[in-house]
Structure 1
Amino acid sequence: MGIIRITNIQIYAYHGCLVEEGKIGSDYRVDVEVKADLQPSAKSDHLRDTVDYVQVNRIVKEEMVMRSKLLEHVGKRILDRILTEIDIATEATVEVSKINPPIGGNVEQVTIQMTLSK
C-alpha cells in the first residue's frame, strides 16, 4: 500500500450559501490523498500502474468549477470521481479550504476534510 498526495491545489471558485459568494467568488485550496497499491508501479516504472496525479488535479478543477452551497458537497463529488475513475485507488481523502471566508471575523480559512473508501 502507498499514498499519493497532491497538496495546495489553488483554485478560484464560487461556492457558498450567500448570493454574493456566487457572484464574487473566493480563493480555495484543495489537498488530496489517494491510497493505492504502488508496488506494481514501483516495479514497472509505468504511469498506467499508478495514480496519475495529473488526472487527480483535473478532477479537482472540474468539480470545483461546479458551484455548491457547501464545501462538503464539492468534496464528496471529488471523492466519488477519484474512486470511480482511478481503478487502483482504495481510499481517498480530500480537504477543501475556503480562504478568507465571509464569516464576520478575521479567519484565515475554513476547511472540511472527508475520506471515502471503496
Structure 2
Amino acid sequence: MGIIKVNNIKLYAFHGCLEEEAKIGSWYRVDVEVKADLKKSSRTDNLADTVDYVHLNHIVKEQMAIRSELLEQVAQRILDRFFREIQMIKKAKVAVAKINPPIGGNVEEVVIILTKKR
C-alpha cells in the first residue's frame, strides 16, 4: 500500500451560507490523500499503473467550481468522484479549508476533513 498526496491546491470559489459569499467568493485550500497499491507502478514506471495526481487535481477543481453552502458537501462530492472514477483508490481523505472565513473574528481558516474507504 502507498500514499499519494496533493497538497495546498489553491482555488477561488463561492461556497458558504451567506448571500455575500455567493457574490464575492473567497480563497480555499484543498489537500487530498489517497491510499492505493503502488507496487506495480513502482516497478513498471507506467502512469496507467498508478493514481494520476493530475486526475485528482482535475476532480478537485471541477467540484470546487460547483457552489455549495457547506464545505462538507464539497468534500463529499470530491470523495465520491475519486471512488467512482479511480478504481485503484482504497482509502481517501479530503480537507477543504476556507481561508479567512467571515465568522466575526480573527480566524486564519476553517477546515472540513472527510475520509472514505472502499
TM-score tier by shorter-chain length is over 0.9
Task: Report what 1:5 is aligned to.
Answer: 5
> What corresponds to 2:51 in structure 1?
51
Determine the C-alpha separation between the residues in 1 that align with 2:84 and 2:50.
15
Equivalent position of 1:74 in the other structure:
74
Identity value in percent: 63
Q: Which residue of structure 2 lines up, in the alignment, with residue 35 of structure 1?
A: 35
TM-score by length of 1: 0.99
Counterpart secondary structure, 1:75: helix
1:100 to 2:100 alignment: yes
Between the aligned partners of 1:86 and 1:43, the Cα distance in structure 2 is: 20
Q: Secondary structure of the residue that 1:4 maps to in structure 2?
A: strand
Where does the alignment leave 5 or more consecutive residues of structure 1 unmatched?
none
Residue type at the aligned position of 1:15:
H
Partners of 1:106 and 1:24 in 2: CA distance: 19
SS at match of 2:58: helix
Q: CA deviation at 1:89?
A: 0.4
Q: Secondary structure at the match of 2:91?
A: strand
Supply the distance in 2 between the matched residues of 1:15 and 1:117 (Cα, whole angstroms). 26
Which secondary structure does the structure 1 equivalent of 2:94 belong to? strand
Deviation, 1:59, is: 0.1
Scaled by the length of structure 2, what TM-score is found? 0.99
- Give the deviation of 1:84 after TM superposition: 1.0
